[in-house]
Structure 1
């Protein structure tokens, strides 16, 4: 039947989501080292065989949590016009805000912060596999805009850090401390717009 394949795909996707949610919660609550794959299977209400088939190791499972939080890993810089930095910066900022606003992102950051003393490698892997690839896209866009003459940027790394910092300081970091921090879409869009305009005011060609 035509619908059978899509049904099984949806079931598999639901199980994967349940596994990632359960793993994030258990890693954060009792520690990465003290959590077993069997415990995660029980919490996710899937069989151990189902979990082991998708994630044979805890490292593979953690990497999947990072990948899930930092999707979409869209290669934006190839699509954005470096001669139109207002549109380009707004597009990059919007994608970044959307990723930071996911519940899974807050869970990931809480996990790596809680486990930093005992498992510092988790923070490094979340940075290398998640944040760094996106940051590099933004840095490359600043570099391309500088080459195109549309932005006056001497240090693309610092410029990217400044713009993304303005967004994360509104969307993500308050959520680490305030359980009720949940700005609506218009507030997030305003924060992105202000970050883009502030960046243009600093680096735009006069």
Structure 2
């Protein structure tokens, strides 16, 4: 029955969310190396068999945390039109602000930073699996806009770094130090808009 199938899917999704939340908390509190999958199962209140079926290793579990945090909640669909950089950059900036504005993103960064001395590979995997794919999307857009003649960009890497940095400096980094940082949707949208306008002023067709 469709209803039964949907019910089981919801249960599975709830268990997965509980496992990822428990793992994030335990990894941050007692360290990646000192946390066992059995401890995660207990904290998430799921059976070990359920956890091991989805995440055979701690590396698999950490990668799932990264994927969960870095998967855009707002979908772009097709790449934005490179001949309309104002609209395209605004769309990319909005998705990025939505991503880095999640409380779970700050939690992931805190976890990686705290575990860097003992588990430096976590930072590399978070960078390679999470940040790089989205960064490549933005850099690719700058390259496409340059090819289309709508932006004058000689170094797409620098251009993408500058625009995303303006957004994360307002949306993400204060949250790393101020647990009550919550600028609100209007303030975030304003930060994105200013980043887009500044980028267009620097790289727009003059």
TM-score, with length taken from structure 2: 0.97
Q: Does 1:121 align with 2:157?
A: no
* Alignment partner, residue 196 of structure 2: 196
Contact 1:77-1:141 at 8 Å conserved across structures: no
Question: Which SS does the other structure have where 2:107 is aligned?
Answer: helix
* Alignment partner, residue 57 of structure 2: 57
Shift of 1:2: 2.3
> Distance in 2 between the 1:75 and 1:22 partners?
27
Contact 1:97-1:192 at 8 Å conserved across structures: yes
Post-superposition CA distance 1:13-67 (Å, at most 9, x none): 0000000000001001100000000000011111111100110100000000000
* Alignment partner, residue 142 of structure 1: 142
Question: How many aligned positions are there?
Answer: 206
* Alignment partner, residue 38 of structure 2: 38
Structure 2 spans left out of the alignment, 5+ residues: none
Between 1:71-80 and 1:164-173, the stretch displaced more is 71-80
Shift of 1:183: 1.2
> Distance in 1 between the 2:7 and 2:77 partners?
35
* Alignment partner, residue 25 of structure 1: 25
Post-superposition CA distance 1:102-156 (Å, at most 9, x none): 1221111010000000000000000000000000000000000001000011100
Shift of 1:72: 2.4
> Distance in 2 between the 1:119 and 1:2 partners?
44
> Distance in 1 between the 2:204 and 2:75 partners?
24
Post-superposition CA distance 1:68-92 (Å, at most 9, x none): 0000298858431000000000000
> Distance in 1 between the 2:77 and 2:85 partners?
11
**Please, what is the CA RMSD of the aligned residues?**
1.4
Post-superposition CA distance 1:148-184 (Å, at most 9, x none): 0000111000000000000000010000000110111
Q: Would the alpha carbon gap of residues 76 and 157 (structure 1) be closer, same or farther in structure 2, given more than 3 Å must change?
A: farther
1:100-179 → structure 2 map (5 Å cutoff) = 100-179=100-179
> Distance in 2 between the 1:75 and 1:128 partners?
20
Name segments (4+ residues, structure 1) moved above 3 Å: 73-78
> Distance in 2 between the 1:90 and 1:204 partners?
14
> Distance in 2 between the 1:182 and 1:8 partners?
35
